Structure 1
Amino acid sequence: MPQFGELEAAIMDAVWQAGKPLRVREILDRLGRDPEPAYNTVHTVTEILFRKGWLAKEKDGRAYRYNATKSREEYVAGLMGEAFAAAGDRSATLARFVEAMRPGEAEELHRLLGEAVQRETPQ
């Protein structure tokens, strides 16, 4: 799973935050970057994200609206999976990851692990 480039990440953030399909102009308006990228640049990168499978598009008059095909959480989980796969010692890497968690996050992880174990255990 490749990490997004700077403009790709900004476009995906805009789409994820909107929670609805956006036209390229709406994406550009939400970027809030200075200097503002050209419309054609945003359109080109949005189309690249579509071809990569990160965005879906639907016709809206003469334009298209773009929507994320995966959530931000799915994207980040994929990055985490790749990071663990690249680790020489997955257990040590996981231990360091857990050590860096805030107490509430560790409790949530514990709860989620308990649910995963229950799903895997035959009834």
Structure 2
Amino acid sequence: MASLGDLERSVMDLLWDHPEAATANTLRDALAQADTADGRELAVTTVLTVLARLEKKNLVARERDTRPHRYRAVMSREEHTVDLMNEALGNVMDREAVLARFIGGISGDEAATLRRLLESPAPGRSATEQPEQSA
């Protein structure tokens, strides 16, 4: 999964925050209101180019049955983050070292949340696949 550029991230944030499908014009106007274009006015063609890139990355779907076309996020922000984390872990030889480094940088509250999540049944994971409890 490819990383997102600043403008791609801004467009995805808009789509994630407003789950109804949006046109390129609507997104351009929202980007201008959010001042994410660094003071420059974005052309609708620029937004369309960004949307085409996001569609190629399988992050956005285009509704072709409407004119103008409407765009929506294919997955939630959380699902995208999970995909990025899985990709990052899949590209390393020593997953344990990466996980240890990651865990070393989280807060006490986040560590408590992680412990609680590891000890509870995960959605889509059977009881036999749960992590072993240490005695």
Q: CA RMSD in A?
A: 2.1
Pairing partner for 1:82 from 76, 87, 96? 87
Higher helix share: 1
Quick one: percent identity of the two aligned structures?
38
Pairing partner for 1:41 from 42, 46, 55? 46
Task: Give, as a single letter, the amino acid of the residue that structure 2 aligns with 1:121.
Answer: T
**Matched residues in 2 for 1:73 and 1:36: separation?**
30
**Matched residues in 1 for 2:50 and 2:115: separation?**
39
**Matched residues in 2 for 1:63 and 1:8: separation?**
20
What are the Cα deviations for residues 18-42 of structure 1, in whole angstroms up to 9, with x where unaligned? 2221111111122222212211110
Task: Give, as a single letter, the amino acid of the residue that structure 1 aligns with 2:17.
Answer: Q
- Count of matched residue positions in the alignment of Structure 1 and Structure 2: 122
**Matched residues in 1 for 2:115 and 2:67: separation?**
50
Could you say which residue in structure 1 is the equivalent of 2:5?
A: 5
Q: Normalising by structure 1, what TM-score?
A: 0.84
Check if 1:93 corresponds to 2:98: yes
Query: Any unmatched runs of 5+ in structure 2?
Result: 130-135
Could you say which residue in structure 2 is the equivalent of 1:30?
A: 30
Q: Which stretches of structure 1, 4 residues or longer, exceed 4 Å deviation after superposition?
A: none
Query: Any unmatched runs of 5+ in structure 1?
Result: none
What is the deviation of 1:116?
4.1
What is the deviation of 1:101?
1.0
What are the Cα deviations for residues 67-97 of structure 1, in whole angstroms up to 9, with x where unaligned? 1001111111111112222333211110111
